[in-house]
Amino acid sequence: IISGWFSEISPMWPGEAHSLKVEKVLFQGKSDYQDVMVFQSSTYGKVLILDGVIQLTERDECAYQEMITHLPLCSIPNPKKVLVIGGGDGGVLREVARHSSVEQIDICEIDKMVVDVSKEFFPDVAVGYDDPRVRLHIGDGVAFLKNAPEGTYDAVIVDSSDPIGPAQELFEKPFFASVAKALRPGGVVCTQAESIWLHMHIIEDIVSNCRQIFKGSVNYAWTTVPTYPSGVIGFMLCSTEGPSVDFKHPINPIDTDGNQESRPLKFYNSEIHSAAFCLPSFARKVIQPK
């Protein structure tokens, strides 16, 4: 923080840095895995930072959490067992809980400090933990999946930080292979897959790994999140061999139960779901070469 502004500086986006004006630093700590900071910003509400990188702001977290959750869950009928890797803030849990068919929500987050800090400073996000279907495991998502029973989950959502730090292995081929093993036939995975403006080389690797491992469909979708680097973030959506999944045409829209008046969806709807798979030409050339 330099003269009242936080700048997100990282070798993952050289030559640029998005800044937010800081009203007040609310928390600063060092966990076993990363530096953790929370501050009150002047225009985006409270902000959670891990190792100098913005993980969420109160103002735009809805765009990321709703899309990473409902893109997979609205693409399959009756999801029952869902696994979240990362996502310790609880926002993805909050979104999964909107689906009344879901019976079990496992989450494996590596860093307990993220969970504790979210419960203290981001109650509207950590509210996800209040759902009785949630079971929290603190540990490395890579190890968790290695030991997970085979063929059980309907959906796995990988809400992971960037590939520098504890999340590095979550972008590698052996991890995708263990995700595929843990999914039922025709099960789906949605992973945080970085920005088409900044990380085409990372995306290219993820796509080629996923094409080898997931024998159903493999698709890239993206959305806007103003406080993420370059203002956009993408998701890799894949399904395993089995009942086919057409991600571009959601068959399981969120019902009125899930879209309650007390806590309505702010970002996701069926039109934006389909639109998220339309790619700019430069990205399409790399991701879906014809």
Candidate list 51, 159, 205, 255, residue with the active-site label:
159
Give the pair of three-digit tokens for residue 254: 């969120």
Collapsed DSSP state (helix, strand, coil) of residue 66 = helix
Q: Does 89 bind ligand AAT (CB under 6 A)?
A: yes
- Least distance in angstroms from the C-beta of 81 to ligand AAT: 18
The only residue of 62, 97, 145, 167 in contact with ligand AAT, by rule CB under 6 A: 167
Q: Is 154 in the site for ligand AAT (CB under 6 A)?
A: no
Q: Judged by CB under 6 A, does residue 160 bind ligand AAT?
A: yes
> Which member of 72, 141, 216, 250 binds ligand AAT (CB under 6 A)?
141
Alpha-carbon distance of 83 to 106, in angstroms, equals 5
Pairing mode, strands 81-86 and 153-159: parallel
Is-contact 243 68, C-beta < 8 A?
A: no
**Residue 229 found at the interface with ligand AAT (CB under 6 A):** yes
- Which residue lies nearer to ligand AAT by CB, 232 or 274? 232
Identify whether the C-beta of residue 188 lies closer than 8 Å to the C-beta of residue 239: yes
As measured in angstroms, the least distance from the Cβ of 73 to ligand AAT is 16
**Does residue 145 interact with ligand AAT by CB under 6 A?**
no
Does 56 participate in binding ligand AAT (rule CB under 6 A)?
A: yes
Q: Which of 55, 57, 219, 223 binds ligand AAT (CB under 6 A)?
A: 55
Please identify, among the stretches 108-116, 182-190, 205-213, 282-290, the one whose residues bind ligand AAT according to the rule CB under 6 A: 108-116
**Span of 37-45, 80-88, 180-188, 241-249 interacting with ligand AAT by CB under 6 A:** 80-88
131 noted as active-site residue: no
Instruction: Give the whole-angstrom CA distance, residue 82 versus residue 108.
Output: 11
CA distance 94 to 88: 11
- CA R_g for the chain: 18
Binding to ligand AAT by residue 182, rule CB under 6 A? no
Site for ligand AAT contains 192 (CB under 6 A) = yes
Binding status of residue 97 toward ligand AAT by CB under 6 A: no
Q: Does 228 bind ligand AAT (CB under 6 A)?
A: yes
The reply on whether position 128 binds ligand AAT by CB under 6 A is no
Decide if residue 109 touches ligand AAT (CB under 6 A).
yes
Backbone dihedral angles phi then psi of residue 52, each to the nearest 5 degrees: 80, 5
Active site residues per annotation:
159
Residues of this chain that interact with ligand AAT (CB under 6 A) are 50, 53, 55-56, 85-89, 91, 108-111, 114, 140-142, 159-162, 166-167, 170, 192, 228-229
